[in-house]
Amino acid sequence: MSTSTPLPLPLSLLSLARLGVGTAAFLFPSLASSTLFYPQPTSSLLNVRLWGCRDALLATLLYTAKTPDARRRAVLAGAAVDILDMVAAAW
């Protein structure tokens, strides 16, 4: 069994930034979407809240990863989601 090691600073910052953006998107979807230059009509803020929940969950997954392998999987999951977001936006 692998031992737990402290989360490196860059990964801590990444998880806290993702958690902050995700929480803001969930609690204040209009403000978050306009701040990120992605204005949404009030009638379609559900997708911003769902995106916020997803980002907060990915942040929690990374922040609670105890082993290097779990951290690697959490970073790859976040990167895959971000790449799919870019593909969807470009499509």
Q: What does the pLDDT look like over 33-68, one tens digit per residue?
A: 888 777 777 777 888 899 899 999 999 999 999 999
Per the domain annotation, does 33 fall within a domain?
yes
Q: In the predicted model, is pLDDT for residue 1 greater than 60?
A: no
Q: Confirm whether 40 is domain-assigned.
A: yes
Residue 28 to residue 63: CA distance in whole angstroms:
23
For the chain, the average pLDDT equals 89
| Residue bearing the bigger pLDDT, 48 or 13 | 13
The pLDDT of 29-34, averaged and rounded, is: 87
**67 in a domain, yes or no?**
yes
Whole-model pTM: value is 0.83
Looking at the 3D structure of the chain, how many domains does it have?
A: 1
Q: 27 pLDDT exceeds 70?
A: yes
Report the pLDDT value the prediction gives residue 2, as an integer from 0 to 100.
Answer: 61
The verdict on residue 1 lying in a domain is: no
Confirm whether 82 is domain-assigned: yes
> Whole-angstrom Cα distance, residue 23 to residue 83?
21
Structural domain of 53: 9-90
